[in-house]
Amino acid sequence: MRTREKFEQLEIENLAPYAMKSRDSRGRKFKEADHPVRTAYQRDRDRIVHSQAFRKLEYKTQVFVIFEGDYYRTRLTHTIEVAQIGRTIGRSLQLNEDLIEAIALAHDLGHPPFGHAGEEALTAIMKQANYKGFNHNMRSFQIVTQFEKRYPDFDGLNLTREVLVGILKHQSSYDEAGFLTEYRDEGPTLEAQVVDFADSLAYLNHDVDDGLKSGCITIDDLKESELWCKALERLGNNVHFHDLEMLRYQVVKALIDMQVQDLLWNTSQRLPGLNFSSAEDVKVYRQPVISFSNQMKALRDELQSLLFNKLYNHYRVLRMTNKAKRIIKALFDVYLKEPNQLPPEVYPRTGCSEEEEYLIICNYIAGMTDRSAMDEHKRFFDAYTKV
């Protein structure tokens, strides 16, 4: 049997000097005894998988809302892809896979229903009440530090500091965490940076796949992308063009592989020159280290803007996202007009300012899935549905 001490020893022997070792973690806010078998990051990963917010990812939109069909990625399957790609990158760079997995599984917990459409709708509403808007990274952080209630001695999941910083800063924009002064000066670990790239890598490629499947983009559209053409070239004569399903699957597979390999080669050429001798050195450095080559960056940007023009702005996708925004807005208005329609454990019956009401309603809606938001909308607006 292997114990936690043995796993910690294996990390020291097998991981790169700049990898984050679980034994060197800055620890948890509330002191807990170490687990006999699992390392700190393995334990964090398990807590995330067993959280309520994680299970809700199944019914949240990535790009295509759940009513569009069951082929498309949901937040849950996207999250699993991010964790898988992140672990591949992390293993090759000799980083801590458990830390990568924990951050990856938590990275989208804070998304409201209907993906970015939901985020935009909530941001617009919250700005009316002088809030900065709605930030899904901040909400992920709040979920794991406050909203999950499973432990008698503290709110949240009491995750390690490295996972919390990874959740807050996973979107490269280090300023986003700026208003949490406690974390402002701490750069993300290489493991957190890997998740950031695995996230953008996963969605660029699965959006190509989902976009083709939906018919919103075509193979002809994608021929304008040099990266797509290179992936096609790589396949040679192995795939028959008339078998579109197979073609789609094989090109997307080649796209992921080309990008992962580029990221690995580029980063591993860069790392020795930075002379990191510990994960602390990475945190203090604060600049992004993991990156694609300039050539791959340009190819990805081109494909990204093609998707933006042809897929995210496709009339069918716009109909879907605008409908989603209307649902969020309608629910918000209904609650705001008469907050006593909210359950008492959500909305205290006395002493709430209008500003607090906005925040309570925002949190309540953000905690819904696409499915529960649509059900709630039906309860309010369909005369024949039970309230």
Q: Hey, what long-range contacts does 274-278 have (CB within 8 A, 24 or more apart)? A: 276/17, 276/18, 277/17, 277/18, 278/17, 278/18, 278/24
Query: Given the rule CB under 5 A, which of 2-10, 168-176, 193-201, 220-228 is the region that contacts Mg ion?
Result: 193-201
Q: Does 199 interact with Mg ion (rule: CB under 5 A)?
A: yes
Q: Which is nearer to Mg ion, 199 or 262 (CB)?
A: 199
DSSP-derived letter for residue 65 is: -
**Beta bridge mates, 160:** 28
In the complex with Mg ion, which residue's Cβ is closer, 21 or 206? 206
Min dist CB 321 to Mg ion, Å, is 17
Torsions phi, psi for 282 (to 5 deg): -65, -45
Residues 6+ apart with CB under 8 A from 242: none
Any idea what the Cα angle at residue 11 is, between residues 183 and 4, rounded to 5°?
90
Which residue in this structure is represented by tokens 């794991």? Answer: 144
Q: Which stretch binds Mg ion (CB under 5 A): 35-43, 53-61, 123-131, 191-199?
A: 191-199
Q: Which listed range, 102-110, 146-154, 178-186, 281-289, lies at the site for Mg ion (CB under 5 A)?
A: 102-110
**Tokens describing residue 103:** 């951050």
Task: Give min distance, CB of 200 to Mg ion, in A.
Answer: 8
Least CB distance from residue 335 to Mg ion, whole Å?
Answer: 28
Residue placing its CB nearer to Mg ion in the complex, 86 or 339? 86
Q: What is the DSSP string of 96-163?
A: -HHHHHHHHHHTTTT--TTHHHHHHHHHHHHHHTT-----HHHHHHHIIIII---BTTBSS---BHHH
Number of residues that bind Mg ion (CB under 5 A): 2
CB of 166 to Mg ion, least distance (A): 13
Question: Which is closer to Mg ion, CB of 83 or CB of 360?
Answer: 83
**Interface with Mg ion, residue 376, by CB under 5 A:** no
Judged by beta carbon, residue 108 or residue 209, the one nearer Mg ion is 108
Shortest Cβ distance from residue 230 to Mg ion (Å)?
25
* Cα atoms found within 13 Å of the Cα of residue 189, Cβ hemisphere only: 33
Q: Is the Cβ of residue 57 or residue 360 nearer to Mg ion in the bound state?
A: 57
Binding to Mg ion, residues 339-368 (CB under 5 A)? none
SS3 42: helix
CB 111 within 8 A of CB 119: yes
Report CA 21 to chain centroid distance, whole Å. 23
Residue 107 CB, shortest distance to Mg ion, in Å, is: 6
What's the min distance (Å) between Cβ of 203 and Mg ion? Answer: 6
Looking at residue 241, what DSSP letter applies? T
Query: x/- binding map, residues 202-241, to Mg ion, per CB under 5 A?
Result: ----------------------------------------
Give residues 107-126 in contact with Mg ion (rule: CB under 5 A).
Answer: 108
Burial annotation 219-236 (CB, 10 A radius, 16+ → b, else e)? eebbeebebbeebbeeee
Distances (CA, A) of 49 to 103, 108, 144, 157, 299: 11, 12, 12, 11, 35
Collapsing DSSP to helix, strand or coil, 289 comes out as coil
Residue 81 binding Mg ion, by CB under 5 A: no
Beta carbon of residue 101, minimum distance to Mg ion (angstroms, whole number): 14
- For Mg ion, the closer of residues 28 and 107 by Cβ is 107
**Would you say 105 or 231 has its CB closer to Mg ion?**
105
In the complex, least distance from residue 162 CB atom to Mg ion, rounded to whole angstroms = 19
- Taking the least distance from each CB to Mg ion, the nearer of 43 and 60 is 60
Contact positions vs Mg ion (CB under 5 A): 108, 199
